[in-house]
Amino acid sequence: MRDGAYVRAVSGARLDLAAGECLALVGESGCGKSVLASALLGLLPGNAETAGSAFLGDLDLLAADERTLAVRVRGRRVGLVPQSPAAHLTPVRTVRSQLKETVRELNGVRRGPRLRAAAEEAAERAAFPIGHLDRHPHELSGGLAQRAATALALVGDAPLLLADEPTTGLDRDLVERTVDELRRHIGSERALLLITHDLAAAERIADRVAVMYASRVVELADAADFFGSPGPRHPYARALLDALPEREFTPIPGMPPELGALPAGCAFAARCDRATGICGTRPALTDGVACHHPATVPLEAPRA
């Protein structure tokens, strides 16, 4: 709730994610991606309300109380790689001390050489250089701060890694190294949910892509189909790709609707050159796309 009115930040999202898989959740800023991540970890503000379920194994994350989330989920079952790692790290403590504390809490290694060795092993897993462990966060580059945050997320061997905009503020070379590093940690017992507005990063490592627009998932597709052939089917998803510099570099006209004033029908209709009268009713997510006029390649004119 905001200013006395309800804001539907995420509506009707239905996603699944298997071990060994990377699902990229993409969309413009403000569409609800990070709110979804916060809901899974129980980090929404106190006036927020959730409905539905989000199962991780046999545990419903949305129904879990704060103690369960703190003791059983955060770090142990869901490892968070945050959007702003430098802000996520404690500024007055070295990376080593933060890794040691996390190892102590999650793995039960209490003190001495074993604790030191476990902290260094955690750093090595994320390709964080041992020689930088005694530095404070402000002494790290953006890429090293991201690796430190990744090291912390990996300590508990959580089956789900949740990376929320992990490449924000990084140059392209660091973006590629960061997502490659995240991809390396997906295995037979771990999955990755990558939340990003960087389609190039998603294309590089994702197995599947979910596109969110104005609080709703409007397309869900295999990454090879989405970025290759036949391409996106929802007009918004296609417009996202067409806006990339290496493609048509065509901006999407108009602005997305306010989440507190969503239309009854398709939220993209006001910006879509394929919209007709039927778009005044909300389309269901059917066969991987929520659109009355799903695109083909090449685009065909919609029928009235």
The predicted structure's pLDDT at residue 297: 54
pLDDT for the residue numbered 301: 42
- Between vectors from CA 256 to CA 251 and to CA 258, what angle results, nearest 5°? 160
Query: Of 151, 168, 222, 162, nearest to 194 (Cα)?
Result: 162
- Do 86 and 107 contact (CB within 8 A), yes or no? no
Number of domains in the chain: 1
As a whole number of angstroms, the distance between CA 234 and CA 225 comes to 13
Confidence (pLDDT) at 304 = 45
Integer-rounded Cα Rg, in Å, for the chain is: 21
Determine if the peptide bond prior to 257 is cis (ω within 30°).
Answer: no
Give the length of the chain: 304
Residue 293 to residue 304: CA distance in whole angstroms? 10
Domain that holds residue 223: 22-233
Q: Is the pTM of this model over 0.85?
A: yes
Cβ neighbourhood burial of 281 (10 Å; 0-12, 13-18, 19+) = exposed
Distance CA 125, CA 22 (A): 19
Instruction: Please give the Cα distance from 193 to 183 (Å, whole number).
Output: 10
Distances (CA, A) of 264 to 4, 242, 258, 288: 21, 27, 13, 21
Residue 205 in any domain: the answer is yes
What per-residue confidence (pLDDT) applies to 300? Answer: 43
- Is 241 domain-assigned? no
Q: Return d(Cα 106, Cα 154) in angstroms, integer.
A: 10
Residue with tokens 């899974």: 40
Which pLDDT value is given to residue 29? Answer: 87
Indicate which CATH number applies to the domain containing 79.
Answer: 3.40.50.300
Examine residue 292 and state whether it is found in any structural domain, yes or no: no
Specify if 75 maps to a domain. yes
Structural domain contains residue 128 = yes
Residues in the chain predicted with pLDDT less than 70, given as ranges, are 1-5, 297-304
26 assigned to some structural domain: yes
User: Where are the extended beta strands (E) located within the chain?
Assistant: 22-26, 55-56, 59-60, 78-81, 160-164, 191-196, 208-213, 216-222
Domain assignment present for 293: no
Rounded-to-integer distance, Cα 260 and Cα 162, Å: 27
Relative to beta strand 216-222, strand 55-56 is: unpaired
Burial of residue 200, with CB atoms counted within 10 A of its CB: 0-12 exposed, 13-18 middle, 19 or more buried: middle
CA gap 253, 250 in Å, rounded: 9
- Report angle CA 135, 140, 145 to the nearest 5 degrees: 105
Query: Residue 152: inside a domain, yes or no?
Result: yes
